[in-house]
Chains A and B, each alone.
Chain A
């Protein structure tokens, strides 16, 4: 700027929704400032939806494309369901971040770059031959070159920290600029920094200085001529917090256990993107939550089944590769008919695949990936906040039917955040669990562990109960007595009973609901974490006058009883999924309906525009 006293007039523009993406090296703290920006937007009262997008490597070589970490957030004065298709403002901390993220930026969008990071070596690491800031190739964007490293060093030089430590604060400088750009208060972040680093006053000082310097730079620089205001959203009245899918899953488990007056056992082995559930629960020991970090995935599910045999609420959590390892033990839980919740936070596969990216390709694995006729219930939450309620539902079915239940989250739900209307404990469902009581002077041979109720559920008799001593195991059980049986007729019958038990769950779950016209030209049928993109697409198509409906399956096995009749009311059923057509094949084989699949396996969620385009293509053909 020319002089400090020549404060320029800047305009303020109001926007309904804005999408911002922070991109830098995986060591640059992009996830941190993305989360801070999200918190502030949420507290301000916007609706929000986020997409953290980071590499599997903790620190890939600095400055390379492999090491780029991004965090995208859409914040809005309207109800939104996705982190946004196209980015309004991109912050690029180095050339690699620019290269990896530029395609997401709208033409005419704001591009804030740290020009100090565009030296020859930096460009080479990002495989740029020439400096893109100089070539004119960025002319279709509002390029704002900011010497962030230098300005930030100036801002913190008096704090008394090393140059390296100074540079580690520059993410806060960038955050400060973006806060100014969108008229946000610095206060929540200042409070957070002060609390987080309370024992390191210099770190507090430096980060706050960086943040303020960035903010004031935005205010005074002539490079940025306007800033934006995104008013509060009109959300349902009540008290809110921000929540990710993994947080909601953990809280939902604790809520279930507290309300059922049961201890909770979470047995798991660390795996991306499920580990945060473990971290969350490990802090909640005062809720009588026991976390068990097992030696491997198999031990984790086995310990959970052991806990379940003992009568506590037991869960194992993992991602696709872990589900593969747990398959045999889940078969045992099917055979022994013990309640078990299995959380699958899906990621890109097969094999190690794309550990940090989202996908929905485990549906067939959880439905069919075990030996023998081995039915289990399968549920899928649709949004991060819904994980809280669906995990409670998973427990309900597990206990009411004495069965393993899969809970199909994914990387997008797990790490994505949204505002969440905080429920009150008194309004939450209370799981009532009954174990048969002791039989005084009874002969334990009178107890029949496989005697069933109307729902085909066997009793949950637990060790420590006198007179109910019995043995369970993986060998085929004789109907009613539960003794080992090799009888051919019995085996056939037991396979049918186990199948009928799971199928019967359909009588005890809500109907499939249709958003939009109850019948018509086209139904978008989805499941799991794609809810936001599909719902947004369907709404936008309806707003443009098209008859497009949306139904979202939260219950994959069994499906709601009205599924067939819903499907039958539409000329075309389109199934968008982040796999190569698993639900599509399932629908075809279950209902003899021939849906059109719309598939994407890129490790990224659907863009709303992709679905809109696909629907338009079908409607026009």
Chain B
């Protein structure tokens, strides 16, 4: 989570600043960046409120009334709340446990474990959900078949096409959010207090429970809200696992409202509760984390010592690897197997081995080629322009370039509260009619991605700038460079690794995006995630697996490249 931008310690403009500012010829650039940002947020949200309240016949609250009285919609809301709640709970338990083990104990293989958590984070949830249909479909699922052959049982061990199945899979790809929050806090808690507890006679578990846990509580609650929000906004996983069992969530219901004849007004009205819920939760989370009551979490003062497990390290390690095999090893294995076989449910023998899924995906089916091209084009464009805009905005708020600049922080972070599908509803309404018809081109996707990824780019850039003192720029400007030049020649090179990280996070976020793309694509502007979803609806298992592997390989390549270029370890650090 991005830190709030309240601390302006040492940033008060000095007299020389004021003089420089008067001569600032680059002001138009800053204002343009600010206006662009405001425009990106206000237009889609404005469109949603307008479409939900007004139509040709005038103002009406009827659509909201229908949302809260129609049994179908109410059921979808209820399902969403139940699912998100349990996803939050499971994510906190798993995420906090792993974070604690990795930061506070002498568990071996910490680096690989962090890397695997990162892999879970990078895996698109819709891909994970698809893989789990192959692993735990009640009859043909690989794990259920294995269980039957082992026990001779008739019934399945686990049916993934159920509410618990859906919760399970969504939690697998939500817990990394909790992990990174809790790990960051655990790194900072000094061991003095834990020592005190041990001196008083508490054992390791009592210490963890009564001392460490309460200290990490704000992070746990914050993590719960984050996981809850993440699951609230997911579209692919509930569509793949919920719909076959007749379970609708808010996001799948909004998507269904786009089917012909489309009910955009209802989709807009149904988006608003989701939007409000997200806003309330984010505000709550800010409040909890912002209180920072844990003054014991010191910067460098206290010592951090590791809890020793001794011989218990092995079973604990096995438990951790077991959890991560659910989110990484098993899904990746089944995807690879399905990509390489004629019939995915059969053993991978020579007879069953094939490369035709690859040749079909890459050479025969034109849609995939265009989609791969669009996806990478959009990934690179959005990451580049997104980093640029985020850098400019972060610079404005950080150096307080003009009156009201700090309110921009609000706009830069606002997309956090806008679930992808809600953003898409707004953009679709805004950009399918003149004067600006972007629908039908990749640019509507570009606008969506740019908006959606702004918070992550902004918070990366912002935290980087915080660590760079304006003195260095002042020096360059005294020599005669204007503000843009000194930003380019002095600050940006210093902020290099932070900006590379921002670029990479945006790129990965873009190539895996589904929930906004699914409403905004047109046949001429498909992206890989949408093609995967289309193929899923037709049941083309092998081809989906090939494209899924492509997405994963691209994501990991970017992460490795980022670590190489940035020269630092970005795995599971603060996002």
- Asked whether A and B interact, the reply is no
Q: Contact residues of B with A, CB < 8 Å?
A: none
